[in-house]
Structures are given as structure tokens and as C-alpha cells.
Structure 1
């Protein structure tokens, strides 16, 4: 009996040694670090533009400061992954980000230079932490599936943030949103302190492989950076788009909440299709679908187009993220490439809000949509080169 029980327990033990608590710490850390993916319409549109009354350029620049500093942190720390303590960096990083958001709510007021500096500090903290979280996810038994779990967690997080955010801003003001963001970062820091996993040693590269990051990985990094820039050019402004088209604050808030529900689908779907689709084809297909949605939403000013397409606008991004993360974990077993995930996601996202705001001021939503689609086409080209160079 004892022998049989031991056999069952051994069979249930993960090769990476991660417990349920470890996995929860990684998933919450991933959600906190991916705050921009779900919260930009509230962050920029409803709060910085709607509550603080900044124009799209200034509002976009604040988000850009956060994301650009997250990129800098990730680029500096990703090559050092394995030499640093992922747990320590994660705890300190998210604590710094939480304190920056508290300062935004209590000290900065609407003084733009102070808000800019605090966005930058928050980005440095969050980017450092997310680098360690994603690098650790990349060392798990099945990075593709673990990242899919992270996508589901982000979707659930989005339901809460996008569903409750407009109500919070309406009732308590824009400063209350900073407290919400601070709470998310603080909770991620606490759970990392309590349950961050001991990361397993890197998987050995295939025979004949080199320690250099391959050309295929660089194509993936460049493509993802451009795609995230394209997405973040349009996503922060979809809330304002609906309001300015006269759809009503209540309806627009409902559409934002529905984004989270729609985002529950792509990551599990990507996990189910992991062995049924070539990752390169899945990635390019997701990019093309995303650009089609963007063009339709920006060029057709009709409620029956806006509501369903905005609801699923982020879904192709999560699908692409999941396949790309799994592909890169296989192409680079050292974990360095996936540790740089925040950099590749946010280097584009950092430029996007400011660039999108500039295009919006100059050319309106129609011109913005065309610009986003053009960059999406460039991203698809780089992803297609992964397949071509194999």
C-alpha cells in the first residue's frame, strides 16, 4: 500500500518541481506585469484623457514612459537571468511599482512632470519583476501550456479591471484607479515573497546548437515588438472612440468588460491546438485577423461593428503570444529569450500610445487604423521569415 501510494505521488510530481502555490505566484505576477495589455483603455482613455483631461499625445506619453522604462529594465535584466535571484527581483520590482502608483494617487495630483517620473519608476519596477516571472515560466515543464494558463489569468484579471474600472473612476475619481493598480502590484509582490518557485536548471540545448540566440528567435522578437506597437497604437483609444461616436458611457463600459470574457477563449484554444498547428502559421494567422479587426473598427462607424469587434480585439494577441512563447522556449532552451518577453512586448507597446495619439490628432481614427494595419503587415512579414529560414 505504501509503495503504491508513493508511486502515485511520484507520478503527480512535476518535473520542474513547481507546486500549486508556485504556479499561482507566477500567474499573478504575469497578470500584474501585463497590466497594460488589459488596462490601457482605462489607463489612457477613461483616466488620463477623461478624468485628468490630458490630450491624446500627453496621455499616450505617460503610458509610453511606463512601458519604455519596463523595456529598459527587461533588456538589462534578461541577459542576467540565472545569475540573479528571480524571487528577490520580483518582490522588489512589484513593491517599487506599487509604491509608484500610491504616489500617483496621493502626491502627484495632476502635475505632469511628477506623473511622468512616477510612471517611469513604476515601469522600471514592473518590467524588472515581469522579466523574472516570464523567465521562470519559460523553465516550466511545458512553457506553451503554462503561458496559456497565464493568458486565462490575464483574461480573468481583465474582466475585473475593465468591468469595475469605469465605475471606480465615476464614483471615486481617477486617483482611485491608481490605488487599484497599486493593490495589484502589491499583491503580486506578497505572493512572490511567500511562494515564488525555485527555478529549475536550464534545459540542455539540442546537439549541435550554439549558445547564441538564433536568427529565428530574433525574427520572433522583432515581429512581436512591432505587433505590440501596432496594438498599443489603437487599444488605449477604443474607449474614447466609442464615447466620441456617441455610443454612451454605459454601453462603452459594457464593451470594455466584454473584452475580458472574450479573452478567456484564445489561450485555452492555443493550448488545445499546440500539436495541431505549426506555430509560425498560427502566429501569422493571428496577426492577420487582428489587423482585419482594427481596420473594420476604425473605418466603419457603426455600433453593430464597434461592439462585437472591440470585444474580441485583444483575443488574437493572446493567441499569438501563447504560440510565440512556446516556440521561443523551444528555440532557446537557456531561458534568456523568454525572460526578455517583457522587452519584446513593451518596446513596441511603449512607442504605440504616443505614436497612436499623434496619428489620432493628425488624421483621426481612419488614419490611425491604416497606420496600425501597415505595422501589422510588417510584423507578419517577420513572423513568416521564421518559417522561411528553417
Structure 2
């Protein structure tokens, strides 16, 4: 049995995180394939991906409160298996309008499976001896996945069509299901001293989770991912709008994948040097600035390329600090087990909302929507900080199991 805090256990959790969070790695390619190869309108493409993310949200909302009573290995393995079968079926659909209802149905089913797996994985990360550090490191795996997808999928799509992205998702989810079934780490009493302390932790958790500050941080994460999904879904299309060379845009996306290897690692190294509150404020502010630069770059390529390359990095870096904070104030793992829900609520709305904004206002409207949402996120962080100070919660040190 794989031990929770062993190197092997952490690698397994990293693989699960990488597979379940595939939307963060492949969203532009996903949307682009649906529009170019399946001939969907922006709203339809956004809706298709949104329904995958809605499935994740539903599973996470249902399962995260039950985290301490679940068989995590079976839930993770079965969830990824369901997702893999759904994407395999999607790859067999013909690229005609009549296939659209089945395409979105399969996306919902895949999302339900992936969400179930992610709830088990993120809850288990929250039970390790340093959740902040491990969550940062598993995001390095996500960066590796992004590099592979952006390096291989554009060429594969040109050769065999849009089905290439669904085949890639099928292989990824199937491999994750096998790894989860055989090697998922065991969550045992190593994270608590004895049953009495576990019961005490549950009582503390029930009290803390009723506090508005926790829900404010959950909303902040949703704001971050909403901003990310709205803009990131259409960066490929925005590059075409600015008349940038196709090869240049593809290179920027590959560079972005390389850069995304670093934020989780850097966040882990800076765990004791930066306040999670300061990071949670800076993240949305930089998102707004970057979104304005991306959509208003006109013909000046660096104003587009630099913020695109770092856009996902902002979410990964900021969320790592918020994840560590939530894991600290809820040692049972229930709050962080809801990570898929808090992330995907924003990510689910983003592609659809972005598609509506693009269709009605234009691509520049995306940036102004990000500005408004970022202001909301900063306000929530400041209010949550005030509430935590009232409770004398120490935000500077990580929780150690």
C-alpha cells in the first residue's frame, strides 16, 4: 500500500491532479478544435467545455462533504475510467451538426467522472504533511502536460482532425485510472494522533467552515478561474484577430507551457516568505492588467505574447497559497476536497460567458469583464483578512500534520 507522505504517494497524486485539471492545460486547443474542426459557434464551443466543467462541479459538491467516508482509491480510479470512456466515444463522433447533442452529453459524463476523481485527490493532498508545498509541486506536473499538449496536438489535429484532442484526453484519463487503482495512497491515522484528536478536528472544522471567511476565499478562487477561463479560452482566436503570425501564436502557447512548470515550484519555495493574503490580492490585479494588454495589443506582438505566456501562471501561483490556507484551517481535508468545485464553477462559466461577450461586444469586452471580477475578488480577500484577524488565525506558518 502506498504511503500518503511517501515520494510515490505524492507522484500518484500529481498524476491525478494533472489528468483531472486537463482543462487548464488544454483549454485554447480544446475551444479551437471545436470551432475549427467541429464548426461550432463561439457560444456552442464555450457551452461544450462549460458542461464538462459543470459535471466536475456537481461531482465535487456532492462528494467533498463526504470525503472522510469515501473509499478514495476506488472513487478516483472509477472517475477517471468513466471520463476516459466518454472521451473515447467523443472521438468517434462525426463532425456534423447532428452530433452536437451527443458531444455535449459525453462532456457532461466525462466531467462527472473527472470531478469525482479530483475530489478524492485534492482532499488527500490536504491530508499530507504540507498541503501548500505538495499542491505547488503537483502543478508542475500540470505544466509538463501543457508542454506536451501544445507541442503535439496542433500537428496531430492537422493530420487527423479535431478528434485528436479527444484521443489524447482518453489516453490521459485511462492511464490515470490505472495508476489510481493500483497506487492511490492510503489515508490513515498517520495524519492524526488518534481517534479523539480526529473527532476534535471534525468539530473544529464544522465550526470553521461555517465562517464567512472560508466561503470568501472559495469565491476568490472561483473569480480567479473565471477570469482565466474567459480570456484563456480565446487567446488563440485573439491572436488571429490581431493578425499575428500563426507560428508565433503557437510558439507563445508552448512557451506558456514551459513557464507553467515554475509557479507551483516557486510558490512552494516562497511559502514562508509571502503572505497568502498579499498573494490573493496581487493575483486578480495582475489578471486584470494582463487581460487589458492581451485584448488591446493591436499589432504590437509583445503586448500580447508576454501576458499570454504568464496568464495561467497567475492562477497556479495564487491558488497554491489559498489552497495551503484552506488546508490549514480545515485539517480533515473537506474544504480542499471541494477544490474542483471552487475552481470549476469559475472555469465552467468562463468559456460560455466569454463566448457570449465575444459574440455581443467583441474580444475587448473580455478584458473589462475581468477588471470587474478582479475588483470583486480583491474586496472579498480584504474582508476575509479582517474576519481571520478577529479569530487570531496565523496566516504565516503552514499547517503541519
The answer to whether the aligner puts 1:139 opposite 2:137 as a matched pair is no
Give the corresponding residue for 1:3. Answer: none
| Structure 1 residue 244, shift from structure 2 partner | 2.6
3-state SS, counterpart of residue 361 of structure 1: helix
Contact 1:108–1:115 (8 Å) recurs in 2 = no
Give the corresponding residue for 2:217. Answer: 220
- The CA RMSD over aligned residues, in Å, is 1.7
Give the corresponding residue for 2:106. Answer: 118
Instruction: List alignment gaps of at least 5 residues for structure 2.
Output: 389-401
Alignment partners' CA distance in 2, 1:285 and 1:366:
22
Q: State the number of aligned residues.
A: 375
Structure 1 residues 322-366: Cα deviation after superposition (integer angstroms, max 9, x where no partner): 101100000111211000000000011111100000001111111
Alignment partners' CA distance in 1, 2:129 and 2:264:
17
TM-score normalized by the length of structure 2? 0.90
Alignment partners' CA distance in 1, 2:249 and 2:345:
29
Give the corresponding residue for 2:396. Answer: none
| Structure 1 residue 289, shift from structure 2 partner | 1.3
| Structure 1 residue 143, shift from structure 2 partner | 0.1
Select 2:376's aligned residue among 355, 378, 381: 378
Structure 1 residues 294-340: Cα deviation after superposition (integer angstroms, max 9, x where no partner): 11111222212111221111111110111011000001112110000
Give the corresponding residue for 2:162. Answer: 174
Alignment partners' CA distance in 2, 1:256 and 1:286:
20
Alignment partners' CA distance in 2, 1:249 and 1:372:
26
Select 2:31's aligned residue among 35, 40, 44: 44
3-state SS, counterpart of residue 82 of structure 1: helix
Give the corresponding residue for 2:270. Answer: 273
Contact 2:140–2:261 (8 Å) recurs in 1 = yes
Alignment partners' CA distance in 2, 1:53 and 1:248:
22
The answer to whether the aligner puts 1:94 opposite 2:94 as a matched pair is no
The answer to whether the aligner puts 1:130 opposite 2:127 as a matched pair is no
The answer to whether the aligner puts 1:211 opposite 2:182 as a matched pair is no
Instruction: List alignment gaps of at least 5 residues for structure 1.
Output: 1-13
Alignment partners' CA distance in 2, 1:250 and 1:259:
14
Select 1:187's aligned residue among 175, 187, 191: 175
Contact 2:52–2:107 (8 Å) recurs in 1 = yes
Select 1:29's aligned residue among 16, 25, 36: 16
Contact 2:291–2:366 (8 Å) recurs in 1 = no
